[in-house]
Homo-oligomer: A and B are copies of this chain.
Amino acid sequence: MHPTTSQAGELAVASVQRLEMIDLTGRLHQIVATCGIPEGIVHLYNPHTTAGLLINEGADPDVQRDLLGALDQMTPSRYPYRHAEGNSPAHLMSALTGATTTVFIHQGRLRLGTWQRIFFCEFDGPRDRQVWWKIIAG
């Protein structure tokens, strides 16, 4: 029998505010603990164009508030946007945080820095969202 070399799945995420960072770390730890791949890479993919993925501090919730507030402030609000939906700043914040990220698996565990947690970033909520994941052995 072949050992498992990859696994994939999806996480449902429901945002309740316009701007929000939703911590996925606990669910990802669970997936990694049960995937049968002790060494490898977790690839995360955000399929939305007004959301992002971010790895940053999770210990003090003020960091998340500051990150979202400052990102919102630095995104031009007086630019003559043409996109009729009116959410162009959300597209820009999505572009700045990115659609993908990767985390290592070592000895059967997700390997994060001391203060790091993995966040789904909502920039145009509230909405029902998804995060896709794929784990590759290696």
Q: Which of A81-127 contact B (CB under 8 A)?
A: 81-85, 88-89, 91-92, 94-104, 106, 111-116
How many monomers of this chain does the complex have? 3
A34 interface contact, C-beta 8 A? no
Whether B67 lies near A84 (C-beta < 8 A) is no
Pick the interface stretch among A11-19, A23-31, A53-61. A53-61
Q: How far is the CA of A9 from the CA of B98 in the complex (A)?
A: 24
Question: Which residues in B have their C-beta under 8 angstroms from that of A89?
Answer: 70
Whether A66 lies near B41 (C-beta < 8 A) is no
Question: Which residues in B have their C-beta under 8 angstroms from that of A85?
Answer: 60
A8 interface contact, C-beta 8 A? yes
A69 interface contact, C-beta 8 A? yes
Q: How far is the CA of A91 from the CA of B35 in the complex (A)?
A: 31
Question: Which residues in B have their C-beta under 8 angstroms from that of A66?
Answer: 79, 81-83, 88, 91-92
| Proximity bits, A50-77, B CB within 8 Å = 1, else 0 | 0000111100101101110111011110
Q: How far is the CA of A75 from the CA of B106 in the complex (A)?
A: 35
Whether A83 lies near B62 (C-beta < 8 A) is yes
